[in-house]
Amino acid sequence: MDFFETVTNRHSYRGPFTDATIDKDALCKIVQAGLDAPSGMNKQTTSFVIVDDAPLVSQIGEMHQANKAVQQAKAFIVCLRDAEPEAIYEGCHFQIEDCSAAVQNMLLAITDMGFASVWIDGWLRTAGHATTIAQLLGVPDSKVVQIILPIGLPKYPPRGPEKQPFDQRAWFNRYGG
């Protein structure tokens, strides 16, 4: 797929997956795209647990009542940051941004390879879901589950909401055009 086609074809997918599994090589390729992402001061703060063990995948999937892609995922990539991020520049840390850059790279890789996913973040912050997943995966208390990506082969073509037109969000040289 052409790069810009991949960018345009990436949509959050919350529908059903086929029964096709994803092999370890494909999962490693996706996570490598995450590892290759930029990070604040090159601290490379995001770490990843790749979940492809079927019983574990099901245990996570069963936690989400409303999202078929989570329920039927064939694998998850669980993205971790430090629980107490160290300030690295002017009192700031960039661990959320680091994680987001890695996730976007991985979403593009997932799309390019014909799989689908959705950025799961808000849901993790409710009902202790992030903590439950961390415990299932043996994540130490020093790390937090920030984002998870359910992955599978989509049963239906992923579609996303229309984006606002260019000239409503972007301008040359002066805000508002």
Ligand X SMILES: Cc1cc2nc3c(=O)[nH]c(=O)nc-3n(C[C@H](O)[C@H](O)[C@H](O)COP(=O)(O)O)c2cc1C
Q: Which of 12, 39, 131, 132 binds ligand X (CB under 6 A)?
A: 12
Where in 19-78 is the site for ligand X (CB under 6 A)? 67
Output the smallest distance, CB 126 to ligand X, in A.
Answer: 9
**Of all residues in this chain, which one has the CB nearest to ligand X in the complex?**
160
Query: Between 118 and 151, whose beta carbon lies closer to ligand X?
Result: 118
DSSP H or E segment with residue 70: helix 68-71
Distance from C-alpha of 173 to C-alpha of 51, rounded to nearest angstrom: 45
**By C-alpha distance, which of 146, 140, 46 is closest to 98?**
46
Q: Which of 6, 11, 35, 113 binds ligand X (CB under 6 A)?
A: 11
Q: How far apart are the first and last CA of the chain?
A: 33
**Angle 120-66-147 from CA coordinates, rounded to 5°:** 10
Q: Which amino acid is at 16?
A: P
Q: Which of 37, 51, 106, 120 binds ligand X (CB under 6 A)?
A: 120
Q: Which residues bind ligand X (CB under 6 A)?
A: 11-12, 14, 67, 118-123, 160-161
